Amino acid sequence: MAESANRGILHEYTYRLRLLDGPTREFRLCLDPDTLALNLELPTEPAPWTRLEHCRCANCPLDPAEHPHCPVARNLEPVIEAFREAFSFSQAEVEIETRARRCSQKTTLQVGLGSLVGLVMASSGCPHLDKLRPMLVNHLPFSLLRETVYRTISMYLVAQYFRSRRGLDPDWGLAGLKGLLDDIHEVNVGFVGRLRSLGVKDAGLNALTRLSCFADTTSFMVQGDILGDIEKYFAAYLQR
């Protein structure tokens, strides 16, 4: 019984975004406890802009015959439609609630949307963004850049541990991490193009731009040997 309850705590999120000069929008996100795939109630008729071939990402590997709609666009449709007329620097109160805790912050709409959009994108079934899905086990709203970089590198190294356990070649040197981040950047660029085609205001666009900047900066910091910068904090592990 306790195990079942804990699984629910990890994978249910309620986002509430209240513009200081407007209504509160609430989004309840439930992730499958085994796959971390997002399960949303969506409109029966998807909007035309969610079709896979509409401003398709340059590196999209999906077959339109099997996936007529972009899985990310499909799941983000309610969020984009709710804020398509909003501006990124509108002041907002953002609250994220799980069964374990509640956190809130008065910030700009783009910051709150960035956290929500990032969670939806990583859990929607994009083959590139799926590689970020393990980070959702410990989703961290309002994360700072350095926190995101640390968590991304940690996730990638844990993935290499599991690869080695299965007899696959691990990448302990992080050589493949840049390629992963480049793919994520390409998806973010493609999705910005998709939103621009709708004529939406800049809130959704800037939320995605922030995510793209996180990916770009993480790639830059990995190449700049960020691990060397924090090695001193691991002194207790480095004694013979």
What pLDDT sits at residue 37?
95
- Cβ partners under 8 Å of residue 212, min gap 6: 185, 188, 189, 192
Percent of the chain at pLDDT > 70 equals 85
In total, how many domains does the chain have?
A: 1
CA 16 – CA 196 distance, rounded (Å): 25
> Containing H/E element for 95?
strand 91-97
Is 155:135 a contact under the CB 8 Å cutoff?
A: yes
Could you tell me the residue range of the domain that residue 104 belongs to?
A: 2-237
| pLDDT category of residue 220 using cuts at 50, 70 and 90 | low
Q: What is the pTM for the complete model shown?
A: 0.86
Question: For 181-217, how does the pLDDT look when each residue is reduced to its tens digit (9 = 90+)?
Answer: 889 989 988 988 888 888 776 766 666 666 656 666 6
In degrees to the nearest 10, what's the CA dihedral of 59, 143, 147, 81?
A: 0
Q: Taking the CB of residue 56, how many other CB atoms lie within 10 A of it?
A: 15
Q: How far apart are the first and last CA of the chain?
A: 43
pLDDT at 224 over 80: no
What pLDDT sits at residue 168?
98
Is 178:219 a contact under the CB 8 Å cutoff?
A: yes
Is 154:132 a contact under the CB 8 Å cutoff?
A: no
- Determine phi and psi for 233, rounding to 5 degrees: -75, -10
Look up residue 12 and give its two tokens: 């249910």
- Nearest partner of 67 among 54, 80, 77, judged by Cα: 54
What pLDDT sits at residue 164?
98
pLDDT at 9 over 60: no
Q: What is the mean pLDDT of residues 72-101?
A: 88
> Please, is 239 exposed, middle or buried when counting C-beta atoms within 10 Å of its C-beta (0-12, 13-18, 19+)?
exposed
Question: For 88-132, how does the pLDDT look when each residue is reduced to its tens digit (9 = 90+)?
Answer: 888 899 999 988 889 999 998 888 888 898 899 999 999 999 999
CA 13 – CA 28 distance, rounded (Å): 6
